[in-house]
Every structure is written in C-alpha cells, then in structure tokens.
C-alpha cells in the first residue's frame, strides 16, 4: 500500500524591502494578522452588549407587567391587606424591631467614638478615613430618622385610634 501525501504549498514570504529588517517585517506581519482578531473581538463585544440591552429591556417589560398585575391584585383585596398590615399584631413587632435596631446602632456608634477618643487608644489607632466617617454619619442620621418616623407613627396611631 502506498501512501501519497499531499504536496505542501510553498510558504509565502514577502522579501524585506531595502532598509527593512526581518524583525520589523515579522512585527508588521503580526500586526496585520492581529487586526482581524481585534475587529472580531470588538464586534463580539458590541453584539454581547446589544444582547444584554435586549435582555434588560425584556426583563424591564416583565417587571412592568408584574407591577401592573400586582396593582390590579392589590385593588381587589386592598382593604383587607391594609387592615392586616396595620393591625397591632404586625405593627407592634415591626416598630419594636425598628426602634431596637436604631437604638442599637446609636449605641454602637457612641461606643466607637468613645473608644477612639480614649487616650490609651491614641497610639494604636489611625485616623478614620473620610469614607468611614461619612458612613458613620449616614448611619447616625438614618437611625435618628428611624426614631422620628416610629415616633410619628405611634403619635398618629394614638391620635386616630385612641390607643397605641
């Protein structure tokens, strides 16, 4: 049995022009070969981005449908839902958890400030970053707003229903 192999094609090499080295020719050949790859990569990225946008808008449309369906369902049993949501068995624990969480947050922030200000801690602590201080301020104000809202809710409930 004789095996015949296909004749190999001669390699196509471009002779370097006068004054051009073989290294620069190899570099330009590499750049020429990589251009289509870069083009393919960018077009792939653009199509993936378009597909992601399409997915986003499809999800947003589904979310819009769910919100509309929820609104329709809410109108049919709205009075019962609000009555259950505002009943004492649900309202009191939620207000209690909000009150406890806000007070705990304020105590923790006070403890952090108190420990930072102690003379014994000055040598081992670094000054807190601006981001950390902003976060602490935001926690403080959110806790204060929570306490105010719980107070307003309890006041309004007492004035409207005559009991807490």
Percent of the chain with pLDDT over 70: 57
Closest CA to 136 of 116, 109, 102, 117: 109
Lowest mean pLDDT, pick from 8-22, 56-70, 115-129, 130-144: 8-22
So what's the pLDDT on residue 110? 92
Q: How far apart are CA 32 and CA 122, in angstroms?
A: 62
Mean pLDDT of the chain: 74
Burial of 157 (0-12, 13-18, 19+ CB in 10 A): middle
Q: Average pLDDT, stretch 62-84?
A: 70
Is the confidence at residue 107, as pLDDT, over 90?
yes
Number of neighbouring beta carbons within 10 Å of residue 98: 16
72-81, 89-98, 102-111: range with highest mean pLDDT: 102-111
132 near 123, Cβ under 8 Å?
A: no
Q: Domain boundaries in the chain?
A: 36-76, 86-161
Closest CA to 127 of 140, 141, 116: 116
Number of neighbouring beta carbons within 10 Å of residue 149: 13
Q: How far apart are CA 164 and CA 153, in angstroms?
A: 10
Is the confidence at residue 4, as pLDDT, over 70?
no
């Amino acid at each position: 049995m004789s095996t015949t192999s296909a004749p190999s094609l001669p390699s196509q090499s471009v002779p370097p022009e006068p004054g051009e080295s073989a290294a620069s020719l190899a570099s330009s050949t590499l750049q020429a070969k990589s251009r289509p790859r870069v083009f393919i990569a960018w077009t792939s990225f653009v199509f993936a981005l378009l597909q992601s946008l399409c997915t986003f808008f499809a999800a947003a449309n589904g979310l819009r449908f769910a919100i509309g369906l929820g609104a329709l369902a809410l109108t049919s049993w709205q009075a019962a839902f609000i009555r259950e949501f505002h009943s004492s068995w649900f309202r009191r624990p939620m207000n209690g958890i909000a009150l406890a969480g806000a007070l705990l947050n304020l105590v923790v922030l006070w403890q952090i400030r108190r420990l930072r200000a102690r003379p014994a801690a000055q040598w081992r602590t670094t000054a807190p970053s601006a981001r950390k201080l902003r976060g602490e301020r935001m926690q403080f104000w959110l806790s204060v707003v929570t306490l105010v809202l719980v107070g307003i809710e309890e006041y309004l409930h007492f004035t409207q229903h005559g009991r807490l």
